Structures are given as C-alpha cells and as structure tokens.
Amino acid sequence: MTAAVPGRRRSPAVVTVLLALLLGGCGVGTDAVAASGTFTFVAPGGQTRILYDPPQSRGSVHGLSGESLLGPARTVGLEDFPGQVVVLNVWGSWCGPCREEAPGLQQVYETTRATGVTVLGIDVRDDRDAAADFMRDRALTFPSIFDNPGRSLVALRSFPRNTVPSTIVLDREHRVAAVFLTAVRVGELLPVVARIAAEQPAAAAGVGS
C-alpha cells in the first residue's frame, strides 16, 4: 500500500482518485522513487497491479537495453524510443501465461503505435530458437530483448527477475507509471496505456505557468 510521504499534502481531487484506485484493487505507489529520481521497486504487499500517481512521484529507468532477439549483432533498448510510452513485457516461450497474453500485447502495440507507444519485450531464461518461433507463430512484430540471464532487468532496481510474465509501463519520460506482476489482459492494459500516452509532458505543462 502507499507509504505516507512527510510534508506532502494532496488536493481533495487527487485524494479522491487515489481512493478510487485503491478500492478498485490496484496499489498506488509513491515510495518507489529514490532521492535521485531513479526507480527502485518496492514490494507491493500482495498487490499485483500498481499505479504510480501523480506523475511527479514516478522514478525513471535508465540504461535498459540488450541483445535484440532479431540478431546477436543488434541491440535494442529504451534509448531507441525517446519521447515514447514504452510497455515493457517480461516473457519466455516456456511460460504458459505468456502464450495467453501475447496476442493482447500485439493488439496494444498495433492500436497505440500511432500515438507514440511501443511494446518492448524482455525474453528471459529462454532458448533463442524457441523464442523466435514463439514470436513468429503468434505474428508478434514488436521488438524484444533476448536476455537469458535477465541482466537487463538490473535497470529496474530490485525488480523480481522470477516474476514472469510481468509488464511495466513507462511514460514518455521513461518513468515507471504502472506495474502488472501477472499476466495482463487487453481490457485492463489498454486503458492504462492510453491514459499515460495522453498525459502532458512536464516541459509542456510548465509553459505559460
């Protein structure tokens, strides 16, 4: 649940939103931001869906990249998607729930790509050929990092590497806005992604203020 933040007072409107999210079964994280503004995962106390609001409470992710599943001579990472919402999905071809959620992730990718959203898979504990077959058989066209040992997840500080599947939604500043610690359906992921994609960037929000 949300840890109290000394010295911070929320407006009644913000409190109402937070209460609605809590009653809806989602955790609202505010204690995952280190003093440096870098994301550090904090155990959610049994919650499997966590929203980090307001945006200024979010921690940034830096340096997440790895070998592309498309070929060992290529790398792919967050730096390839500046200013985009990035839906990170941790998966493996050996994972039953991953098979169920993969078509939905492709749907989210196709539905939101024109609005500046991408999906970036992180394939862990897997065989490259099996992973490539998994993507080909399901017509998945979004990029994926091939990361057998899960080293790229170090960028998500303290995030549990054994939680597969899991989905992390980064806003346009590559701050963690939502975490799903279980398989996620289109009906719950798409509204979250659309809301985050519609947020006004901090730089733009400050113009004229």
pLDDT value at residue 177: 98
The reply to whether 32 falls in a domain is yes
The whole domain housing 24 covers: 12-201
Is 95 a domain residue?
A: yes
Which pLDDT score is estimated for 35? 40
Q: Where are the alpha helices (DSSP H) in 3-65?
A: 12-23
Grouped pLDDT means (10 residues each) for the chain, 209 residues: 39 36 36 65 90 96 95 90 98 98 98 98 97 97 96 95 96 98 97 96 54
Report if residue 129 sits inside a domain: yes
- 39 in a structural domain: yes
**What's the distance, CA 151 to chain centroid?**
17
Q: CATH number of the domain that 161 lies in?
A: 3.40.30.10
* Token digits of residue 18: 């937070």
Provide the angle, in degrees to the nearest 10, between the axes of the packed helices 186-197 and 96-112: 40
The count of domains in the chain is 1
Retrieve residue 160's tokens: 């549990």
Residue 86: the pLDDT is: 98
What is the pLDDT at residue 209? 41
How would you list the strands of the sheet with 85-91, edge to edge? 27-28, 49-51, 176-180, 166-170, 85-91, 117-123, 144-146
**Would residue 207 count as lying in a domain?**
no
Residue 79 lies in a domain: yes
Does the model's pTM come out above 0.85? no
- Identify the pLDDT of residue 73: 77
The residues pairing with 75 across neighbouring beta strands, listed in sequence order, are: 67
Q: Is residue 72 part of a domain?
A: yes
Domain-located, residue 190: yes
Q: What pLDDT shows up at residue 152? A: 96
Q: How far apart (Å, rounded) are the C-alpha atoms in residues 206 and 170?
A: 21
The pLDDT score that the predictor gives to residue 2 is: 37
Residue 70 has a pLDDT of: 83
